[in-house]
A and B are shown apart, each in its own frame.
Chain A
């Protein structure tokens, strides 16, 4: 290691030096104090109550909309013939996509030893779980006879009827179900040592009991740590293919059908890239206010955010490539239906949705080529929100425009959402934020145990240069 500066490169960009992952001066104790201090705070901040009230109202709206739907019928939405799938499926794919960042950060970045993940992984994983919970609602309520949803599961029954294993929707049930289960386990298991910390610091009886229950008797012995690390690694190994599989399978819902605009082999990688893209954008848009608000700036530094913005840039560009490639293949295939589907997307009655999507997803992240922009809180917030909007529109464009004009011009139609569609979607944010605010208030937002390894005295290789590992 040499300290000679490279000419023309600022010190913080010197690739030979790792950027510190916690603000210098952070100690093992201060990490615990910062993170555990949030749930331990006696007086809940007023702002939290305001936010929670809004979120609960939205959640109530969701409940009301679902109840109305169940009592009235799927007709309360704008779905029609030919657009049999409308906003609910768009919302489902949107939320599943958002649910990608968490597991990617915790599993893939863990396996690839991207230590910067430690600051954000808990947060992102929580977001994943909540997003998947939101996503899971939609296919459930989307079907015509919700009370028979169990037909989708391979349950032994007197009819000796199995589901149709050829149907991508069934694969979806398994893919999303597995992903939700593994993500939840991964998140919870990773949280056990931190829950034990909270338990140990609790003064209130109820809190001690609750955290005690959740921390499964964790004592922090070396044996426990050793098993914990092994289990975490195994789960990370299990979760990694799931990150890729779940959205690939979701994309099969479209790709396996024969609808022009859906029937495309590019869909699996394109969907995964899009999912990571939207997931990271959502993490950024949640994390920026959260770190501000809960005083986590020392642990979630601007460097963390910059790294995530880089990923947004990369995945956004991948998505842009996919958009272009779809057009190229549509033209190159010589299939007139396919060609029309794409011309119609960009220049047909839904052109506004298409160009909203392109502007938000492909153009807006390009600003992250500039370091200043990557490190600017206002810019990254705007871009992250744009990306979320754009990714919702991407699913809308894929789902609705393809369906609205397929093979026979006689059956073409135009989709118009209803107020119920909009309120249901808004309500899903209520569920998301309700869970998220509860998480912020009662659970450790940052993986204390992992971040501790990032400060010099917490590293196993303390005093022996940079880098570090968990083993």
Chain B
């Protein structure tokens, strides 16, 4: 009783509930007990997940659910004693967040189940996404649960690590900084490129405390060209911050100059916007692509001209001359062009088209091109009336430094001269991805105190004293700006799995009197950013809910680019040119340990688990090399060895190689020398220089006589002439293609593209569907082969990766694949993409032949796969004409993550069975989503709406080429698409009646250019 009387001030209010006297008293012992019982703030996942951990995770979900809906401003996570209102265990919750890469955020919707993030999608309310997403965003889930992520603070010396703690690391760092506070000489921070206002605010505080400290932003894949070109063209100084926003949905005539706008920053928006002009039912835009390597943009183009990067300038000049003929001013007459007659004709037609569509035309230059080319292109855009219409110039976010190598160059100089004693590296991996001639690692060796905050103990960590585990964006608070500057908040979905801290939290420890939590830091930055909108709790909650702060986009600038017209173009390169480009899958290498991305077939070559030197067909003949040959690529005294891939449509005189491979400390997927895992692919850094980080000239390519096996999912190169002829013959019927002219004349032109066949009859009565009848439609006009559907499906359906050896045996497991076919000459072919997944045939050949009835037809028309029943005869796979069935030849989920199944299991979708070895699997039309929708509809006492169920691939698809729904609802998108004249069934002559149908591809070529590809499709099938 005395204790009760002696208890401190009320811990629980008079109206609060309490469970024990201890709680009521709120004694320190009780506090300790609570802490011991529920150590939720510091979960340790090193061991397997036990019951308690599982409960914690459930608790985390509940607490976060409330944190994000902001009913309770609490960050502590405890299992709940009573279930919060509205929370259903196992139910999905969706939160907004954002995924920032190189200073540009992709706004997200993250799905969590019981507190575990399991799926990432684009935020449909945000213009930068519109609901679509990309492969890297989709693959973030795998990265989040990656067992190779670092588990704690480590100290490194001579390549060996010892475990340490945050306390010790912070003590060391604070100690090193303490004496320099107020001055900051010898202190430097090397940060990832980020437009986070919260980070910028901490940076300001840091620089206030350490005025002489350097703060450098660096991203290996970012080129300086666009901004420098804009400065040049606008005549503004080096302080000018500009960003170009292209509006493809407003453009009728687009020219790209070595510009893969579909894969750029803001590529998701570009893909969605571009697709708006590619549906033949409305007005169609026309895209001319002049480029070196065959990009996704080139594949979507109506006309494509292969051209080495250094000749782009000359082509631009020729274009200006041609435009001058049509009356465009500001062009200095030039002497005759070095291009052949065919190219000149191409440019003439192009100029005509651009000029006719003034105000709706747009010219885009690739980031890697020289500033002068950008300046000339901007001036051209101005004269074509693009400014303010198809092209906006906005203020670049103030948080971003100008991209380029100069900051890192200065810092490295200071480091090697001993001018840096304390170096804090926030994210990134400069030891791996800095240009080879910079000597970053030697310079790093001269720094006394160096700490690296990173998701992985990577190449850079291993040369620092301290590796600090970084919290993943799915487990920490943060903020970011999308391409147009709109502010979004990055929300945590769960407590950090591995004791990580975000950059914000780490900096706060170093610069604040009392470290603030991530939430406090972000909220502080938000209050600053949202001042104009009024700020406040209500707005904060709205921003969390919507995923964006409306009205926070950067202001549009009105700038003239007239000065660009006279920018002096660089002279053409001598010798062979090498183009280095950030890998569309691995970026600059930061996603190298992501198995989904490594195993994703390249959008065109279908190569997995490697980067390849793309060589034109002409050059390969001259050099007598073929796909799989290893060549030595040398430039300015350095060389690397890389396998060749003979790439149809690649520009002669140039070769291309993706960055991001050859990691030596990525992890068990991407390569880790310490663990004996060989690097995946070839590292490009030796060839990169500060002067030529992307386009390198004077390159020599020599044969080595060695060969290297490549694992491709579609064997373009191994096909003999007979097979090629058959492929050519079939293509017209498989990917039915026509022109806009043809479509306007005969909308059902696709019906002529198939083989004549006898009337189709079936042995069986057809099924009847009284309730739902699910179906899918895929628009080949708008599909650009981005692969987002493939990774989205992998994330949704717990699809394992199998490894390079298995891919080379043809055992990849992707439920949806994107077929790519070339048409035309190898020198300048046209490419068409076709996503193929199980088509849920009415007369399903697989159902006929399964001896144990493991694949059966549902009463809603799904071709169900019963894993429990499947014994693995694989007969269904043989009989499937689309070959979309995938067999578990081994227990694949265990292959790469077998050492930590519990951790990897957390990332699985709990609604989808993880398949064992020996069973067949395939696309289910996301049956779990159908079932969830049906349950919801049943609870509401209604029917599932025609468009209510969205499959994972459909959601991820930026151009919305995939639609899914109920064919029994004539108003549904899919029913309307399938009723349209463009809709056809792949291999319809087999009478299998697939539920997935395709919409014929329609291009919009200029008749003046006599497009080879469309001619092809006309007589692809003699009738």
**Interfacial residues, chain A to chain B (CB-CB below 8 A):** 72-75, 78-85, 142-146, 148-149, 151-152, 161-164, 166-170, 173, 253, 256-259, 336, 340, 343-344, 347-349, 403, 405-414, 416
Contact = CB atoms under 8 A, between A and B. Distances in A.
A343 B725 CA distance: 11
Contacts of A257: 845, 849, 875, 878-879
B879 A149 contact: no
Given A85-B878, A164-B850, A410-B714, A144 B723 contact: no
Nearest to A139: B873
Interface string B873-890: 111011101110111111
A145 to B, nearest CB: 4
Contacts of B723: 344, 348-349, 405, 409, 412
Given A152-B871, A406-B883, A349 B720 contact: yes
A350 to B, nearest CB: 11
B891 interface: yes
A100 B878 CA distance: 27
Given A257-B845, A408-B881, A84 B869 contact: no
A411 to B, nearest CB: 4
Given A73-B890, A75-B811, A81-B886, A167 B848 contact: yes
Nearest to B728: A409
Contact of A145 (B715, B870, B881, B885): B870
Contact of B819 (A161, A347, A408): A408
B891 A145 contact: no
Contacts of B714: 410-411
B587 interface: no
B877 A152 contact: no
A144 B890 contact: no
Given A84-B877, A344-B723, A406-B883, A336 B755 contact: yes
Nearest 9 CB-CB pairings of A with B: A144-B872, A144-B918, A75-B889, A80-B810, A411-B883, A410-B819, A84-B874, A169-B851, A145-B918
B871 to A, nearest CB: 5
B845 A258 contact: yes
Given A85-B874, A144-B888, A257-B849, 14 more contacts: A74-B917, A81-B877, A84-B875, A144-B887, A164-B850, A166-B848, A169-B851, A257-B878, A258-B990, A344-B722, A406-B881, A407-B730, A407-B882, A408-B987
A173 B851 contact: yes
Contacts, number: 180
Interface in B171-197: none
Interface string B898-928: 0000000000000000001111100000000
A257 B848 CA distance: 9
Given A152-B852, A410-B836, A412-B715, A80 B809 contact: yes
A419 to B, nearest CB: 14
B890 A72 contact: yes
B851 A152 contact: yes
Contacts of A253: 875
Contact of B806 (A75, A347, A406, A408): A75
13 contacts: A75-B806, A75-B809, A80-B811, A81-B812, A85-B874, A144-B871, A144-B874, A145-B871, A151-B869, A152-B871, A169-B873, A257-B879, A344-B723
B755 A84 contact: no
Interface string B405-440: 000000000000000000000000000000000000
Contacts of A162: 853
A81 B873 contact: no
Contact of A74 (B848, B849, B872, B883): B872
Contact of A164 (B851, B882, B890): B851
Contacts of B806: 75
A410 B821 contact: yes
B703 interface: no
A334 to B, nearest CB: 9
Interface of B: 714-715, 718-720, 722-723, 726-727, 729-731, 734, 755, 806, 809-812, 817, 819-821, 834, 836, 845, 848-853, 869-875, 877-879, 881-883, 885-891, 916-920, 986-987, 990
B878 A145 contact: no
A166 B844 CA distance: 13
A93 to B, nearest CB: 14
A348 B720 contact: yes
A223 B434 CA distance: 99
A130 to B, nearest CB: 25
A463 B721 CA distance: 71
A408 B722 contact: no
A253 to B, nearest CB: 8
Contact of A258 (B811, B851, B879): B879
B829 to A, nearest CB: 15
Given A80-B811, A142-B873, A412 B719 contact: yes
A167 B889 contact: no
B872 A348 contact: no
A169 B882 CA distance: 21
A413 B918 contact: no
A24 B867 CA distance: 66
B851 A170 contact: yes
A335 B886 CA distance: 28
B882 A408 contact: yes
A79 B853 CA distance: 22
B811 A81 contact: yes
Contact of A163 (B821, B851, B917): B851
Contacts of B836: 408, 410
Contacts of B850: 164, 167, 169
Contact of B887 (A81, A169, A344, A411): A81
Nearest to A162: B853
A326 B875 CA distance: 23
Contacts of A259: 878-879
A74 B821 contact: no
Contacts of A148: 871
Given A78-B809, A82-B883, A336-B729, A169 B849 contact: yes
Contact of B734 (A81, A144, A408, A414): A408
A84 B718 contact: no
B906 to A, nearest CB: 25
A160 to B, nearest CB: 12
Contacts of B734: 408-409
Contacts of A412: 715, 719, 723
Nearest to A409: B727
- Give the one of A83, A84, A257, A403 with max B CB within 10 A: A84
Given A74-B889, A75-B890, A343 B722 contact: yes
A83 B810 CA distance: 9
A409 B730 contact: yes
Given A73-B891, A406-B883, A163 B810 contact: no
A126 to B, nearest CB: 30
A427 to B, nearest CB: 20
A81 B885 contact: yes
Contacts of A169: 849-851, 873, 875
Contacts of B719: 409, 412
Given A74-B918, A258-B990, A409-B723, A168 B849 contact: yes
B577 to A, nearest CB: 32
B562 to A, nearest CB: 49
Given A84-B887, A403-B878, A144 B919 contact: yes
Contacts of B731: 409
A253 B849 CA distance: 9
Contacts of A406: 881, 883
Contacts of A347: 722
Contacts of B917: 73-75, 144-145
B726 A340 contact: yes
A413 B714 CA distance: 8
Nearest to B820: A410
Contact of B810 (A82, A168, A408, A409): A82
B997 to A, nearest CB: 15
Interface hub of A257, A344, A416 (most chain B Cβ within 10 A): A257
